[in-house]
Amino acid sequence: MNWFEENICRVVGDGRHTFFWYDKWLGNTSLRFKYPRLFELAEDKNCKVVEMERLGWAVDGRAWVWRRRLFVWEEEMVRECFVLLHNFILQENVYDTWRWLLDPGHDYTVQGSYNYLSNTDDIVDRSTIDDVWHKQIPSKVSLMV
């Protein structure tokens, strides 16, 4: 995960545009990284939050469809995941949005990103940034990136 992905998260409203496993919407990491074994065993890895909620994400809910029968320790992971989801409520008339964590107003700006990269004492993997500005890359490619 690069510095940009680490500093954004999804704010779920109606859950229609947020991927259950892939997006970082419930805590500081996506569910595919928090529960890699469950992600590996899940039949539908591209489901949205609203789909999982409608099918029922309780321990015995229909949202959980696995490629095979779960071992006891894997079922315990499902219970742990359910505890996180138990009090989560979708908001029907509110759209899902992205939140930029590096700005108090949570709005993404190029200037805010530049200021963060220029002034931070944190160690940042600058390889992707350096590739964009590398002089041996044709300008058309650099602009496209």
Q: Is residue 92 part of a domain?
A: no
Q: Is residue 68 part of a domain?
A: yes
Work out the percent of the chain whose per-residue pLDDT is above 90.
Answer: 43
Distance CA 4, CA 102 (A): 10
Count of domains in the chain?
Answer: 2
- Please give the pLDDT value at position 142: 60
Query: What is the rounded average pLDDT for all residues in the chain?
Result: 81
What global pTM score does this model have? Answer: 0.70
80-103, pLDDT tens digit by residue?
A: 999 999 888 899 899 988 887 776
Pair (33, 78) in one structural domain: yes
Pair (130, 81) in one structural domain: no
Pair (74, 137) in one structural domain: no
Q: Is residue 72 part of a domain?
A: yes
Pair (126, 76) in one structural domain: no
Pair (7, 69) in one structural domain: yes
Please list, in sequence order, all residues whose beta carbon lies within 8 angstroms of the beta carbon of residue 11, skipping any fewer than 6 positions away.
25, 96, 97, 98, 99
Q: Is residue 102 part of a domain?
A: no
Residues 60 and 75 sit within 8 Å (Cβ to Cβ) = no
- Please give the pLDDT value at position 128: 54
- Please give the pLDDT value at position 59: 75
Q: Which domain holds residue 11?
A: 3-85
Pair (81, 137) in one structural domain: no
Pair (78, 12) in one structural domain: yes
DSSP per position, the chain: --HHHHTEEEEPSSSSS-BTTTS--SSSS-HHHHSHHHHHHBS-TT-BHHHHHHH--STT-TT--BSSPPPHHHHHHHHHHHHHHTT----TT---EEEETTSTT----HHHHHHHHHH--S----HHHHHHH-TTS-HHHHHH-
35-59, pLDDT tens digit by residue?
A: 999 999 999 999 999 999 999 987 7
Pair (113, 78) in one structural domain: no
Pair (15, 66) in one structural domain: yes
Pair (22, 69) in one structural domain: yes
Pair (51, 116) in one structural domain: no
Pair (70, 127) in one structural domain: no
